[in-house]
Amino acid sequence: MLALVLHRADSEIGYARLTKVTVWRLREDLAQAVGIERAKALIETGVTNEYRLSIPRDQLKSQVALTPCFAELVPLEILTKRQYAKLRRICGRSVSKFK
């Protein structure tokens, strides 16, 4: 999902080259959370293992939230510092419902 968000932010076209298995697993997880139709609609298929988020680039901030725990992915080397900084710029902030 992170690759899809980052690639969508990078260009108007926003396709990321991912394996079919990776996208299949992501769609399966999304389907469990929001239903199969929404999961299918969220990830568009291009050609030759290219996929993108259906969310327009100018709506990422209002549609995608970044929680503070994503910072923990940098020391684990799942995200680079540059990628994390970019996500902080392009995504909205998650607001906790708990006090």
Contacts of 34 (CB under 8 A, 6+ apart): 42
Report the b/e string of 45-64 with b at 16+ CB within 10 A.
eeeeebbbbebebeebeeeb
pLDDT (tens digit, 9 = 90+) per residue, 15-51? 999 999 999 999 999 999 999 999 999 999 999 999 9
pTM of the shown model: 0.84
Give the Cα separation of 25 and 79 in Å (integer): 20
Note the pLDDT of residue 92: 86
